[in-house]
Homo-oligomer: A and B are copies of this chain.
Amino acid sequence: MKMTRRISTLASLESAQSTSPKLNSHPPMEIISTISWMKETARQSRAENHVIGFIPTMGALHEGHLSLIRRAKAECSRVYASIFVNPIQFGPNEDLAKYPRTFEADVEKLIAAGVDVLFAPLAKEIYPPDFKTYVTIEGLSDRLEGNSRPGHFRGVATVVLKLFEIAQPHFAYFGRKDAQQVRILQQMVHDLNLNLEIIVHPIVREPDGLALSSRNAYLRPDERRAATVLNRSLVEASHQIEAGVRDALQVQSAIHKILSAEKLAHADYAEVVSADSFEPIARLGNSAAYILLAVFVGNTRLIDNLFIEPAPDSNSYVCSL
């Protein structure tokens, strides 16, 4: 296999870096495009007893990704990131072709964040023509995002397992915005006895509450204003829960009232589910729950969620947006 670097502009980025006293305090980020060289790099890091933290991304990096990287930097001695827009997790009518690709800006952000290695393979490296193997997580993958996006979680689980085998991390960092994805990947790690731990990090939001997402770039200005409706409805849900509401239908009804007042938005789903099974629950009980939202704002599909944990002392709940 070839071990050439993918991006010829990288040399210029690295030389820019080496002239910067601020950035020069850590060695230049290595960009790797081949599986064989990424594996060899990981093997070397492990042989040197490094603790490897890994942040898989699809690029179009924002502060949500960077918060994962900062956490990995604090907890690990080597931080790997990957940028790979995974074709098999997109449905035929989804936004694979127009998904934002901002590779050079991403590289600058990763260098500034102190990432040691960026794995950025081409699709043909990850999926050669004879590729045949898929990972499925039954039950959890069929509802909600999996129902709206058939095959999505099969694609996510398959590529993440491959990336884990290639980058061999001790810890892998994911944002809680993709709550169902995180739950499915935790199930995969548990069921397949993988030798790593998944770390879940809180949602990062814009000042007006919109959860950061690479897909926010699709929003026109009026849609961008309307997109706060996801956060606004979850804030209202958290207020209701703090006020003592336990009935899921009552919470959902309050959410739908706010969503339907926003003309540019229409809900795909708004559900109160068990944080373990992701099955709907009728009432908040003794275990953690999510309120999960998927909402079209114009043609852009956004997701967001509220994480609800029973408070240890009382019959109240801690709501995390």
Residues of A near any B CB (own CB < 8 A): 35, 39, 130-140, 157, 161-162, 165-166, 168, 187-188, 191-195
Contact = CB atoms under 8 A, between A and B. Distances in A.
Given A134-B135, A134-B138, 8 more contacts: A35-B193, A130-B187, A131-B191, A132-B191, A133-B138, A133-B187, A165-B193, A168-B195
Contacts of A130: 187
Nearest to A154: B136
Contacts of A35: 193
Nearest to A135: B135
A162 B192 contact: yes
A235 to B, nearest CB: 33
B133 A134 contact: no
7 contacts: A132-B191, A133-B137, A133-B157, A133-B191, A133-B192, A135-B192, A165-B194
A136 B138 CA distance: 12
A132 B195 CA distance: 18
Nearest to A35: B193
Interface residues of chain A: helix, strand, loop or mixed (majority): mixed
A132 B185 CA distance: 11
Contacts of A139: 132
Given A132-B138, A133-B135, A138-B134, A165 B191 contact: no
A192 B168 CA distance: 12
A35 to B, nearest CB: 6
B133 A188 contact: yes
Contacts of A188: 133
A135 B166 CA distance: 18
Contacts of A168: 195
A136 B158 CA distance: 10
B192 A39 contact: no
Contact of A136 (B133, B192, B194, B195): B133
Contact of A39 (B140, B162, B187, B195): B195
A162 B192 CA distance: 5
A187 B132 contact: yes
B192 A161 contact: yes
Nearest to A167: B193
B134 A136 contact: yes
Nearest to A38: B193
A136 B188 CA distance: 14
Nearest to A194: B165
A182 to B, nearest CB: 15
Taking each of A35, A136, A137, which has the highest tally of chain B beta carbons within 10 Å of its own beta carbon? A136
A134 B168 CA distance: 21
A45 to B, nearest CB: 14
